[in-house]
Amino acid sequence: MHNARATEEVALGIRRRVFEHTIRNNGGYLSQACSAAEQLAWLYNEELNIGEPTLPMIPTPFVGVPSAGNTAYHTGAGYNGPAAPQFDRLFIAPAHYALAAYATLIEVGRMAPEGLLQFNKDGSSVEMIGAEHSPGMEVHNGTLGIGLSTGCGLAVGRRLKGETGRVWVFMSDGEVQEGQTWEAVQAAANFGVDTLQAICDVNAQQCDGAMDSVMDVRDIKTKFEAFGAVVAEIDGHDITAMRDASRLSHPGQPLIILARTSPYQGMSHLKRRFPRLHYVRFKSDEDRAAANAAIAAELGIPAVDYVH
Amino acid sequence: MVEMVTRPYASAFEAYALAHPEVMCLSADLTSSCEVDGFRDRHPDRFLSLGMAEQNMMSFAGGLGLAGFRPFLHTFGVFLYRRPYDQLMASVAYPRRKVRLMGFLPGITTPGGMTHQAIEDISVMRSIPNMTILETGDATEVESICAAADSVDGPVYCRVLRGSVPRLFDTPIEVGKMRELSTGSDVLVVTAGITTEEALRARGALTKAGISIRHLHLNTIKPFNTEALLDHIAAVKHGVVTLENHVTEGGIGSLVAETMADHGVGKRLIRLGLKDTYAHGGSRPYLMHYYGLDATALVAGIERLIGTRFGITDADLDAVRIDAVHSVAKAEAL
């Protein structure tokens, strides 16, 4: 399934799809597509060694939460292929990137475009905040900061079992405010886990606004290195830089790629909203129409014909 | 005189883990305190030291579970749910990972005071969907806790006794099965963990005073055999007294109260335990007496239930003391 399209093209497709969805739904997690499109496109289109999807192209409805009696339950990991020993695993640690992640699955042919019509609809598994049962998800990550720990545990377990597949974690920079992130890096270094890789969307913003106005996290590259990771710091919209960073040697240590990004990359109309970009809402019909016209033009597509 | 067993968990865990290669031993800097230091030294390839970082340990264990392991987490009970509660929910309980949470020093079995005493753990764990809760009350139950916990298809929280532990029972824990220790007809006494030993002390004196006690020991708190409890309640004349090493909200007292209310049982219930209070640091006998968790408190509770004073004194209870536990075992060190 790899490289049917150029990764740049997949990234553009992610932005277009999330944009169209956001205009139609009068709001959405739009800036996450701006900052993370290249990272998600690169992971799925190039870097991840994963098998064919095992779940239907159009996701089945919600079948209930895990319980002793729920035999129909399954996670959404099947969209990333089977959990075979040689294959990589991916956790989307900031689960509010779900919309961008679902768009990625569609762009790389792992989910049907119709799947996104179920987004945030009652009774759907295509949830707004990615759940365990949502397409492409294997664990709950809606509480930020737990993804890297889970990845670390899985990587240690897979090493003990002699599995060759790696564990990738897609992270966001806001997570470094959580102490658990540092516990996780410390543990990964302590156990010499070099099958654990993370790429972190460093868009310098969080729910309340710009990170340095909420809780300044200072030099996270130096901090991650001090905790025992090999760190690459790159332009998160430069796919060549991503490829180079992933080839860094990191024996006995986890690799963390800090992808410095813009939360309005490819949609410069959003710049005026910075730093309030965590969830894009339109204040009025005019606001929505202006965003529709300007961003569609920049993305090279017709304006979205939405229901007023 | 009852047999005292030293560090029953240490050898039981080692034997169990060696027979089950998918069991991994995890610890958060309390390895000897949880009696797995020997295991660590003899089987370093099966032991992971996670350090003082319980939040990471919980999610890490979830990841190990995903890889097909059944991690046994060793630390004090409090550190398995207070600090890493969010991780417990998201990484272990929700996905039903086969993570075995071995919580040492339940309730007031530690002189460590508020920060070390898991006094509301059962309440917290009972309200977590998918969670199973087991509690050990003697050395035989400690010896069988690993197999019992590991038989559960999902996460399990265990209250584990350590150090010098009396042997009260001769059969292992059967998950879901309560122990019927006496089948009297006046009052039903329900205990778990270390309060069972207290009830055994009280029973002798109460029998002498002409009170017929029906006594149940619970080692499985969730899931719970409601029907069996209802049958026992129906078999006594006056009502039920619960005694727990836990706050009386959300523990076995609440469990019995909910069962009675749900089924319209019109008998009295007296719930003994920590009454909406924290405890402080001190020896186990001191704390059990000070907070009303001992045989004396149980006798007083039964007197209140029946409305009669039996004239039983502390000396009477000492006379039937079943063992030398408290004279042999020093207050639990940290």
Show me where the domains of chain B are located: 9-104+137-166, 179-322
Pairing of strands A230-235, A209-210: unpaired
Per-residue pLDDT, averaged over B38-67, amounts to 98
pLDDT greater than 50 at residue B333: no
Alpha-carbon separation of residue A233 from A35, A42, A92, A196, A261 (angstroms): 15, 16, 20, 17, 11
Other beta carbons less than 10 A from residue A182's beta carbon: 18
pLDDT greater than 90 at residue B330: no
The pLDDT confidence band at residue A308, using thresholds 50, 70 and 90, is: confident
* Minimal Cβ distance to B64: which of A66, A140, A153: A153
- The answer to whether A134 and A76 have CB atoms below 8 angstroms apart is yes
Distance from CA of A233 to the nearest CA of B (A): 25
Helix (H, G, I), strand (E, B) or coil at B183: strand
Q: Can you give the pLDDT at residue B325? A: 38
The dihedrals phi and psi of A122, each to the nearest 5 degrees, come to -55, 135
Q: How confident is the model over B2-24, as pLDDT tens digits?
A: 899 999 999 999 999 999 999 99
Helix (H, G, I), strand (E, B) or coil at B189: strand
Is A228 a member of any domain? Answer: yes
Distance from CA of A179 to the nearest CA of B (A): 9
Distance from CA of A142 to the nearest CA of B (A): 9
Domain count, chain A: 1
Q: How confident is the model over A28-67, as pLDDT tens digits?
A: 999 999 999 999 999 999 999 999 999 999 999 999 999 9
CA distance A20 to A305: 9
Q: How many CA atoms lie less than 13 Å away from B178 in the CB half-sphere?
A: 27
A159-165 LR contacts (CB < 8 Å, sep 24+):
A159/A193, A159/A195, A160/B24, A160/B67, A160/B69, A161/A85, A161/B67, A161/B68, A162/A85, A163/A85, A163/A86, A163/B67, A164/A85, A164/A86, A165/A49, A165/A84, A165/A85, A165/A86, A165/A87, A165/A88, A165/A89, A165/A195
Give the helix/strand (H/E) hosting B39. Answer: helix B37-42
* Minimal Cβ distance to B90: which of A66, A140, A152: A140
Mean pLDDT of chain A: 96
The answer, for A49 touching chain B at a CB cutoff of 8 Å, is no
* Minimal Cβ distance to B130: which of A66, A132, A156: A66
List CB contacts (< 8 A) between A75 and chain B. Answer: 95
Mean pLDDT of chain B: 94
> A15-19, A160-164, B171-175, B308-312: lowest mean pLDDT where?
B308-312
Q: How confident is the model over A174-194, as pLDDT tens digits?
A: 999 999 999 999 999 999 999
The dihedrals phi and psi of A43, each to the nearest 5 degrees, come to -55, -55
Count Cβ neighbours within 10 Å for each residue of B253-279 and write b for 16 or more, e otherwise: bbbbbebbeeeebeeebbbbbbeeeeb
Q: Show the tokens assigned to B5.
A: 């067993």
Q: Is B67's CB within 8 Å of A132's CB?
A: no
Q: Is B66's CB within 8 Å of A139's CB?
A: yes
Is A304 a member of any domain? Answer: no
Q: Is A153's CB within 8 Å of B67's CB?
A: yes
Beta bridge partners of B133: B157, B222
List CB contacts (< 8 A) between B53 and chain A. Answer: 180, 183, 186-187
Q: Can you give the pLDDT at residue B21? A: 98
Q: Is B60's CB within 8 Å of A190's CB?
A: no
The separation between the first and the last C-alpha atoms of chain A, rounded to the nearest angstrom, is: 38
CA distance A182 to B31: 22
CA distance B218 to B223: 11
Domain that holds residue A177: 7-57+75-299
Q: How confident is the model over B110-150, as pLDDT tens digits?
A: 999 999 999 999 999 999 999 999 999 999 999 999 999 99
Residue from A14, A46, A44 nearest A30 by CA: A14
CA distance B216 to B234: 14
List CB contacts (< 8 A) between B61 and chain A. Answer: 153
CATH class of segment(s) B9-104+137-166: alpha beta
pLDDT greater than 70 at residue A233: yes
Rounded to 10°, the helix A147-160/A179-190 angle is 20
The pLDDT confidence band at residue B194, using thresholds 50, 70 and 90, is: very high
Is A305 a member of any domain? Answer: no
Q: Is B59's CB within 8 Å of A154's CB?
A: no
Q: Can you give the pLDDT at residue A287? A: 96
pLDDT greater than 60 at residue B332: no
Q: Can you give the pLDDT at residue B37? A: 97
Q: Is B51's CB within 8 Å of A187's CB?
A: yes
Q: Give contacts of A 122-151 with B, CB under 8 A.
A: 132, 138-143, 145-146, 149-151
Domains B9-104+137-166 and B179-322 share a fold: yes
pLDDT greater than 70 at residue B327: no
The pLDDT confidence band at residue A2, using thresholds 50, 70 and 90, is: low
Calculate ∠ Cα A232-A237-A238, nearest 5°. 65
Q: Can you give the pLDDT at residue B314? A: 86
Q: Can you give the pLDDT at residue B104? A: 98
Q: Can you give the pLDDT at residue A1? A: 47
Q: Is A180's CB within 8 Å of B55's CB?
A: yes
Helix (H, G, I), strand (E, B) or coil at A305: coil
Distance from CA of A18 to the nearest CA of B (A): 27
Is A70 a member of any domain? Answer: no
* Minimal Cβ distance to B90: which of A146, A161, A191: A146
The answer, for A187 touching chain B at a CB cutoff of 8 Å, is yes
pLDDT greater than 70 at residue A173: yes
The pLDDT confidence band at residue B316, using thresholds 50, 70 and 90, is: confident
Rounded to 10°, the helix A179-190/B54-66 angle is 60
pLDDT greater than 80 at residue B329: no
pLDDT greater than 60 at residue B289: yes
Q: Is A236 left (phi over 0), alpha (psi -120 to 50) or beta?
A: alpha
Q: Show the tokens assigned to A240.
A: 């060549």
The pLDDT confidence band at residue A3, using thresholds 50, 70 and 90, is: low
Residue from B270, B276, B275, B331 nearest B306 by CA: B270
Alpha-carbon separation of residue A175 from A36, A181, B193 (angstroms): 15, 7, 40
Q: B179-322 — its CATH code?
A: 3.40.50.920
Cβ contacts of A288 within 8 Å, gap of 6 or more: A23, A26, A282, A306
Q: How confident is the model over A111-136, as pLDDT tens digits?
A: 999 999 999 999 999 999 999 999 99
CA distance B53 to A179: 9
Q: Show the tokens assigned to B69.
A: 């392991």
Residue from B168, B187, B166 nearest B240 by CA: B187
Pairing of strands B100-104, B132-135: unpaired
Is A269 a member of any domain? Answer: yes
Beta bridge partners of B75: B103
Q: Can you give the pLDDT at residue A70? A: 97
CATH of residue A172: 3.40.50.970
Please state the pTM of the whole predicted model.
0.95
Q: Can you give the pLDDT at residue B322? A: 57
* Minimal Cβ distance to A154: which of B58, B63, B153: B63
* Chain B contacts to A (CB-CB under 8 A): 24, 48, 50-51, 53, 55-56, 58-69, 86-87, 89-91, 94-96, 129-130, 153-154
Q: Can you give the pLDDT at residue B219? A: 98
Determine the residue of chain B that is closest to A154 in CA distance. B63
Q: Can you give the pLDDT at residue B306? A: 96
Give the helix/strand (H/E) hosting B19. Answer: helix B8-19
Interface test with A, best of B26, B66, B69, B152 (most A CBs within 10 A): B66
Calculate ∠ Cα B176-B179-B185, nearest 5°. 125
> What is the helix, strand, coil percentage profile of chain B, to 5?
40, 20, 40
- Alpha-carbon dihedral angle through residues B327, B328, B330, B334, given to the nearest 10 degrees: -150
